[in-house]
């Protein structure tokens, strides 16, 4: 009887090992568990004990040779009974039981040796659990011939075992929702919308997406109210399945285009590129409001909009003259100072936010500026602002007053270093000469490009704008 | 914090007021049985390691060098004290009557486990590091409720873990539960110095037994290579544990072998270190003492050696004849009754396995 010991996988999922040194030579007699060879795997140096006793007949690998797991390593002939009766007898009884399997193994495993051992067999070594078995196969799998699909399998008694909640989900249609392939949030959504996932799974196999559930609910339309779960009214938690904020789908995807898209691009670019800094100041603009009342009565201003915005615009031009830094564009290596003010005025329009520009605003007198603002705001409201009118701004104003707000931190239009934000004009208690008196108060502030404008510059500029609004007489100089 | 020691490496016995009396009270039968357990465990270890090297086991996890702590503690406990082992408690398992063959079944992948946990009050091996400590705490909470409902027994629950698992979150949670609920939990930490390749000094700057103080219970450190001290410490502290005072016993020992057969410890520790621990071998010091004290003679030792050898041969035969685990069993044991999802996955896998090309000479050639 001759046995072959094949190289086992001594690690977890190793595929090969190098023979480092033989501890026996042909003719040696070995006992079970005698170390015969030292091998090195990717993980470690390992001594291999033989699984059976006998005389070494053949060493099937050279030192330094790398063998695949499962390759034959050593052949051992069972010695006479005096050499290893215990082990020998064990193996005999074992081999008799296992003969067919081993023959197969020997046929495929030791073709090179040419000895008559295919008829021989012995125990353990040949049918090594790991070495020549599943692990070796797993390491180099055969190619696949076809894809595999996941088909639902029917299990007897499944319906009875289904939990009550899932029964409700599938509304007793006999489809098991447990197997509707989807994620917990989508399951929750389906529950809220009163969609039976089982029904959906039956109609469209595969993973159920949020969109699938929504489409299903939408397509069902009136069903939701008439025959669906919504008509059933609230449950014990006061939760009405399917009830939304208003009529319509649960969520809808809206395409971004036009002004919205333009705005998004601009503010994103500006917010990412420009370090913004914002400052604010509460300002008593009672005198400006008085002046405004006077101008409104003036026939020269008939038909023109004489709003606080007009005076803010004048104040900005005045302050820009004294604070050149705010009227500039940053170019990294340099920055360009403008000796003019192209005043952008942010306007909320039906199409969205637009910022039309009054070119050379410093060149207008007060009435002319009022006329320009009036025309500009009208065109904006009518949605007629042309793209050209929105180019070239150097400083902008955003008027938060109409929204009832007092302040905000606007995003700078690209290329500008300052945007002034003014809030609503409110009658407020104000201290004048140690007396508390009602005054018209407005918050003046804005955002600035900090690369160019420190808090000090921004503060001085905002203070100048506020000073003019407090003392519009300054505009006379 | 010096570990409690009764038996020095040279086999000499040190008297101790608290712990020595527990040993003096033991008869030859118990003393000999402890030796037999240790010797059997060691023989099992050697044989199983060989079987793995011969491709007959997927993996083996040796407990070489840790036999004393395991044997001492389990011997001191009652047979109905429920043990939640890691995957290395072979000496404890053997003591509870689990056969070597049953122990190997899982490592040959011939079964998910080899024994009935209830029959032996010994849970299946947990391969998930530290998870058994939570199972143990849950079991102890169950006991507590049984007792509240009028059950008379006062068994305790042993949660085994190593120095490596002491860093697991599960272990912390388990100890918090044990403390909060006053559970009858004995945490048996075998500090074998190495968490695979991470030394214990990296895991803990203090003796692991001191961690007990953080949870508000007691911790004791024992020489885990001293079977007598391990016995005495467990015997002394078990009654307190039964009353709902959790305890840690840290057995300081050394993993003489590899972490598993897939590990090569020479890559991360020195042979000097291993040699220094070889000198502290738990079995030889105990044999010296047994013989010196007249508890056993050389004839008896040869008898045990012969038994152990027989056991190894039986084990080899038994392991070879174990049938492999049918893949279907993996699915069939998830639920008690057929389950549609499991059945579906099973069918998928069957289909997948059947979907490979036949192995022909041609494809063989292409691969090379």
Is residue B11 within 8 A of residue B33, CB to CB? The reply is no
| Per-residue CA distances from A376 to A344, A423, B8, B181, B265 (Å) | 10, 20, 100, 76, 83
Is residue A19 assigned to a domain? yes
Q: Mean pLDDT score of chain A, rounded to an integer?
A: 79
**pLDDT single digits (tens) A459-473:** 999 999 999 999 999
**A178–B55 C-beta distance less than 8 A:** no
One digit per residue, the tens of pLDDT, for chain B of length 368 reads 899 999 999 999 999 999 999 999 999 999 999 999 999 999 999 999 999 999 899 899 999 999 999 999 999 999 999 999 999 999 999 999 999 999 999 999 888 888 999 999 999 999 999 999 999 999 999 999 998 888 888 999 999 999 999 999 999 999 999 999 999 999 999 999 999 999 999 999 999 999 999 999 999 999 999 999 999 999 999 999 999 999 999 999 999 999 999 888 988 999 999 999 999 999 999 999 999 999 999 999 999 999 988 888 888 888 888 877 777 888 888 888 888 889 999 988 888 888 776 654 444 334 33
How many domains is chain A built from? 3
**pLDDT single digits (tens) A118-170:** 333 444 444 555 433 333 344 445 666 666 666 777 776 655 544 444 444 44
Structure tokens at A39: 């091998």
Interface of B with A in 320-349 (CB under 8 A): 320-321, 324, 337-341, 343-348
Distance, first Cα to last Cα, chain A: 121
Question: Where does a domain end: A196, A217, A232?
Answer: A232
Select the more confidently predicted residue: A425 or A227: A425
Interface of B with A in 125-144 (CB under 8 A): none
Residues A349 and A456 occupy one common structural domain: yes
Given a cut of 60, is residue A364 above it in pLDDT? Answer: yes
Whole-angstrom Cα distance, residue A89 to residue A95? 10
**A148–B348 C-beta distance less than 8 A:** yes
Residues A271 and A336 occupy one common structural domain: yes
Which of A271, A311, A275 minimizes the C-alpha distance to A452? A275
Residues A217 and A271 occupy one common structural domain: no
CATH number at residue A359: 3.30.559.10
Whole-angstrom Cα distance, residue A346 to residue A210? 39
Is residue A398 within 8 A of residue A419, CB to CB? The reply is yes
**B262–A145 C-beta distance less than 8 A:** no
Residues A130 and A182 occupy one common structural domain: no
Is residue A244 assigned to a domain? no
Q: What is the pTM of this model?
A: 0.56
Q: Does the annotation mark A450 as catalytic?
A: yes
**A11–B355 C-beta distance less than 8 A:** no
The Cβ of residue B152 has, within 10 Å, a number of other Cβ atoms equal to 6
Task: For residue B108, list chain A residues with Cβ-Cβ distance below 8 A.
Answer: 129
Residues A222 and A295 occupy one common structural domain: no
**B58–A130 C-beta distance less than 8 A:** yes
Residues A110 and A64 occupy one common structural domain: yes
The interface pTM score, or ipTM, of the predicted complex is: 0.71
Considering the segment(s) B20-325 as one domain, its CATH architecture is 3-Layer(aba) Sandwich (3.40)
**pLDDT single digits (tens) A171-213:** 444 334 556 788 888 888 888 888 888 777 766 667 888 888 8
Sequence ranges of the domains in chain B = 20-325, 328-367
Residues A423 and A294 occupy one common structural domain: yes
Give the range among A278-287, A309-318, B144-153 with minimum mean pLDDT. Answer: B144-153
A213 backbone dihedrals φ, ψ, rounded to 5°: -65, -45
Is residue A418 assigned to a domain? yes
**pLDDT single digits (tens) A48-72:** 999 888 999 999 999 988 888 889 9
Is residue A250 assigned to a domain? no
**Amino acid A136: pLDDT:** 36
DSSP string, A360-425: TGGGS-HHHHHHHHHHHHHHHHTT---GGGGS--SEEEEE-GGGT-----PPPPTT-SEEEEE---
Which of A99, A133, A124 minimizes the C-alpha distance to A49? A124
Is residue A397 assigned to a domain? yes
Per the structure, the complete domain to which residue A84 belongs is given by 2-139
Is residue A121 within 8 A of residue A98, CB to CB? The reply is yes
| Backbone region of residue A97 per phi and psi (left: phi > 0; alpha: psi in -120 to 50; beta: other values) | alpha
Question: Where does a domain end: A214, A232, A250?
Answer: A232
**Is A401 in CB contact (< 8 Å) with chain B?**
no
Task: For residue B259, list chain A residues with Cβ-Cβ distance below 8 A.
Answer: none
A220: distance to nearest CA of chain B, Å?
29
**Is A50 in CB contact (< 8 Å) with chain B?**
yes
Is residue A253 assigned to a domain? no
**Amino acid A101: pLDDT:** 38
Cross-strand partners of B158 = B83, B186
A378-383, Cβ contacts within 8 angstroms, sequence gap of 24 or more: A380/A347, A380/A349, A380/A354, A380/A356, A381/A347, A381/A349, A381/A350, A383/A349, A383/A350, A383/A351
Residues A95 and A131 occupy one common structural domain: yes
Which entry of A262, A331, A450, A457 is annotated as an active-site residue? A450
DSSP letter at A429 equals E
**Is A8 in CB contact (< 8 Å) with chain B?**
yes
CA angle B325, B329, B331 (to 5 degrees): 140
Is residue A270 assigned to a domain? yes
User: CA-nearest residue of chain A to B109?
Assistant: A129
Give the range among A286-290, A362-366, A385-389, B189-193 with minimum mean pLDDT. Answer: A385-389
**Amino acid A90: pLDDT:** 39
Residues A211 and A275 occupy one common structural domain: no
Strand, coil or helix: B158? strand
**Is A48 in CB contact (< 8 Å) with chain B?**
yes
User: CA-nearest residue of chain A to B57?
Assistant: A129
A157: distance to nearest CA of chain B, Å?
8
Is residue A155 assigned to a domain? no
Cα R_g (chain B), whole angstroms: 22
The Cβ of residue A377 has, within 10 Å, a number of other Cβ atoms equal to 19
Task: For residue B316, list chain A residues with Cβ-Cβ distance below 8 A.
Answer: 32, 90, 124
Given a cut of 50, is residue A312 above it in pLDDT? Answer: yes
> Per residue in A112-135, is it b (16+ CB within 10 Å) or e — as a string?
ebeeebbebbbbbbbbbbbbbbeb
Residues A437 and A349 occupy one common structural domain: yes
Whole-angstrom Cα distance, residue A143 to residue B51? 32
Residues A89 and A197 occupy one common structural domain: no
**pLDDT single digits (tens) A204-215:** 667 888 888 888
**A141–B355 C-beta distance less than 8 A:** no
Residue labelled with tokens 């020095």: B8
Is residue A313 within 8 A of residue A397, CB to CB? The reply is yes
Whole-angstrom Cα distance, residue B173 to residue B63? 26
Question: Where does a domain end: A139, A169, A191?
Answer: A139
Residues A394 and A443 occupy one common structural domain: yes
**A86–B356 C-beta distance less than 8 A:** no
Whole-angstrom Cα distance, residue A420 to residue A444? 7
Strand, coil or helix: A183? coil
> Mutation test of the interface with chain A: which of B45, B54, B346, choosing the one with the most A Cβ atoms within 10 A?
B54
């Amino acid at each position: 009887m001759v046995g072959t010991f094949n190289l086992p996988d001594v690690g977890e999922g190793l595929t090969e090992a190098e023979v480092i040194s033989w501890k026996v030579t042909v003719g040696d007699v070995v006992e079970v568990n005698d170390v015969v060879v030292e091998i090195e795997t990717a993980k470690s140096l390992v001594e291999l004990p033989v699984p059976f006793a006998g005389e070494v007949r053949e060493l099937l690998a050279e030192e330094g040779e790398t063998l695949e797991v499962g390759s034959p390593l050593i052949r051992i002939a069972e010695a006479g009974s005096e050499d290893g009766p215990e082990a020998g007898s064990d193996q005999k009884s074992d081999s008799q039981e296992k003969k067919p399997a081993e023959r197969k193994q020997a046929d495929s495993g030791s073709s090179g040796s040419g000895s008559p051992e295919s008829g021989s067999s012995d125990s353990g070594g040949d049918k090594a659990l790991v070495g020549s078995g599943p692990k070796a196969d797993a390491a180099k799998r055969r190619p696949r011939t076809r894809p595999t699909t996941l088909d639902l399998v029917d299990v007897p008694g499944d319906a009875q075992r289904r939990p009550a909640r899932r029964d409700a989900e599938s509304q007793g249609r006999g489809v098991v929702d447990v197997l509707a392939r989807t994620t917990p949030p989508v399951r929750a959504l389906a529950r809220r919308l009163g969609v039976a996932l089982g029904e959906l799974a039956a109609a469209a196999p595969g993973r159920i997406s949020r969109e699938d559930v929504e489409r299903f609910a939408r397509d069902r339309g009136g069903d939701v109210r008439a025959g669906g779960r919504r008509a059933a009214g609230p449950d014990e938690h006061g939760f009405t399945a399917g009830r939304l904020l208003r009529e319509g789908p649960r969520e809808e995807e809206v395409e971004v285009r036009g002004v919205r898209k333009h705005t998004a691009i601009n503010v994103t670019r500006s917010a990412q590129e420009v370090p913004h800094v914002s400052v604010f100041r509460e300002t008593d603009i009672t005198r400006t409001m008085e002046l405004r009342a006077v101008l409104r009565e003036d026939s020269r201003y008939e038909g023109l909009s004489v709003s606080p915005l007009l005076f803010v615009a004048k104040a900005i031009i005045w302050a820009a003259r004294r604070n050149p830094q705010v009227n500039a564009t940053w170019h990294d290596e340099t920055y360009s100072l403008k000796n003019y003010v192209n005043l952008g005025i942010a306007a909320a329009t039906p199409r969205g936010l637009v910022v039309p520009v009054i070119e050379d605003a410093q060149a207008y007198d007060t009435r002319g500026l009022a006329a320009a603002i009036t025309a500009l705001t009208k065109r904006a409201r009518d949605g007629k602002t042309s793209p050209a009118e929105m180019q070239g701004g150097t400083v902008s104003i955003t008027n938060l007053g109409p929204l009832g707000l007092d302040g905000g931190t606007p995003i700078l239009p690209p290329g500008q270093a300052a945007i002034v934000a003014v809030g609503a004009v409110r009658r407020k208690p104000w201290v004048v000469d140690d007396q508390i008196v009602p005054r018209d108060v407005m918050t003046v502030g804005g955002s600035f490009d900090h690369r160019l404008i420190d808090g000090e510059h921004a503060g001085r500029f905002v203070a100048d704008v506020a000073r003019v609004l407090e003392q519009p007489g300054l505009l006379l100089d | 914090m010096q570990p409690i020691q009764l038996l020095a490496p040279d086999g000499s016995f040190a008297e101790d007021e608290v712990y020595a009396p527990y040993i003096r009270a033991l008869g030859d039968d118990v003393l000999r049985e402890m030796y037999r357990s240790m010797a059997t465990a060691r023989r099992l270890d050697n044989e199983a390691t060989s079987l793995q090297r011969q491709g007959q086991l997927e993996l083996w996890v040796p407990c070489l060098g840790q036999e004393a702590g395991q044997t001492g503690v389990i011997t001191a406990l009652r047979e109905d004290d429920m043990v939640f082992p890691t995957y290395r408690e072979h000496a404890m398992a053997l003591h509870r009557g689990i056969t070597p063959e049953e122990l190997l079944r899982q490592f040959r992948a011939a079964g998910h486990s080899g024994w009935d946990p209830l029959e032996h009050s010994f849970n299946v091996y947990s391969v998930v590091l530290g998870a058994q400590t939570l199972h143990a705490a849950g079991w102890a909470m169950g006991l507590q409720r049984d007792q509240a409902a009028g059950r008379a027994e006062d068994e305790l629950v042993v949660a085994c873990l190593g120095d490596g698992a002491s860093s697991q979150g599960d272990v912390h949670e388990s100890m918090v539960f044990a403390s909060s609920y006053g559970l009858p939990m004995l945490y048996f930490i075998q500090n074998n110095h190495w968490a695979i390749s991470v030394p214990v000094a990296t895991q803990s700057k203090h003796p692991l037994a001191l961690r007990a103080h953080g949870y508000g219970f007691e911790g004791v450190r024992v020489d885990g290579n001293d079977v007598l001290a391990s016995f005495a410490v467990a015997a002394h502290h078990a009654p307190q544990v039964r009353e709902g005072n959790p305890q840690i016993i840290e057995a300081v020992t050394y993993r003489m072998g590899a972490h598993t057969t897939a590990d090569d410890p020479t890559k991360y520790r020195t042979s000097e270190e291993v040699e220094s621990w070889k000198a502290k071998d738990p079995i030889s010091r105990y044999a010296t003492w047994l013989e010196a004290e007249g508890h056993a003679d050389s004839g008896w030792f040869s008898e045990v050696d012969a038994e152990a050898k027989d056991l190894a041969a039986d084990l080899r035969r038994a392991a070879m004849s174990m049938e492999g685990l049918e893949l279907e069993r993996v699915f069939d044991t998830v639920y008690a009754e057929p389950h549609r999802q499991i059945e579906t996955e099973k069918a998928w896998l069957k289909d997948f396995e059947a979907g490979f090309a036949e192995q022909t000479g041609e494809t063989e050639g292409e691969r090379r």
